[in-house]
Structure 1
């Protein structure tokens, strides 16, 4: 299984870098990215596209720009006419806070989510939790609120949120799946990693799923994995943090510089 993360908050692309990135993705993807108002959102979206194409290239040997992507009715990207080495590929991308993340596997169904552990502006922890009351079971809320400090409660909250998001993204339903049907029993984090969390669906533990939880730079990254991947893949591998230059192997440069200038004109997030 391939697990990648790119720290987008420290990526300040030069004109050359942005053009290289734009050349790696399709025109439809470039147009989609151009619609974002803020630089952060444009960078995160671009990073997600680059992470996906880097994985496709690693597994097939083809250039990252050679792949054609489309979206299904739920908005999830998929490969159009994939090569034989990628026909069974399950992949997912997520971005939030300072990171864009990716997970992909040829032998299991996967979903990934990332969240930064932070409190929204002008709100208390209890006010924040009040808005999310219906997203977790009574047992989960008990675990979320068990630490004595607000920081500990936020830590547990985002951990649970990433678990739920990664699961519904893996099964392809998104948040329309009843989140109260899913109940997690979190394992112990050791060296900022946990692989012992379990999930119950409608009260029945589903042992076909495992969850890789990583706490990285004040972010939770969680990968939900279903299937034989749990025995065939190298589960001791961790999320690999990559840099921009690790993702680009494009042959040529776009002649049209509008893609850099459209990025340069975007606003900084408030």
Structure 2
């Protein structure tokens, strides 16, 4: 892996103009709450509003950059400071070091595709796609992650025409669909015959036998996309 190239890809230069930014007290406190508790006094210690704004934006800039480059949520970011107040990051896992924890769950074919997908973000996306497919299958058959994810190997054509091999044998009874959602999230749908569900799940199904035409119609039927809702839309008003 070319670490020099990856380092250059992580370079960002952002400027934030706060001269016309006049947040309400509620908005200011809301943004302040995004920072870890130990960081907040470093903002509120200033008396003048302009100084407090600079201190807040300076810290938000650091956290936002780390989230943007490394995909680390705000609440998981750790920023340390030298005795002179200079910020620095503690030793962090590289993307490959993080992914190595999951290597036993993939076949050599899948793992090779993941680690050779390109820059860190590409490797993570490739990893999430494979993981999403494996999770969709074991959930569809009613099994848990203890099923043995390395028994499953997925093949695809640019992430379409996806098919599954189980213990090295191709299964043509399943169809898989990957959806790219907002904020870099993925969703996978696995469709197969109920007879392939584990026994404890099959007994809960009200219908587990179909003629061939019914089965093919259901499994080949085009998958609709996802509709994004807010929480309040889940409550039906009478």
TM-score, normalization by structure 1? 0.44
Name the larger-Rg structure. 2
Which has the larger helix fraction? 2
TM-score, normalization by structure 2? 0.49
Which has the larger strand fraction? 1
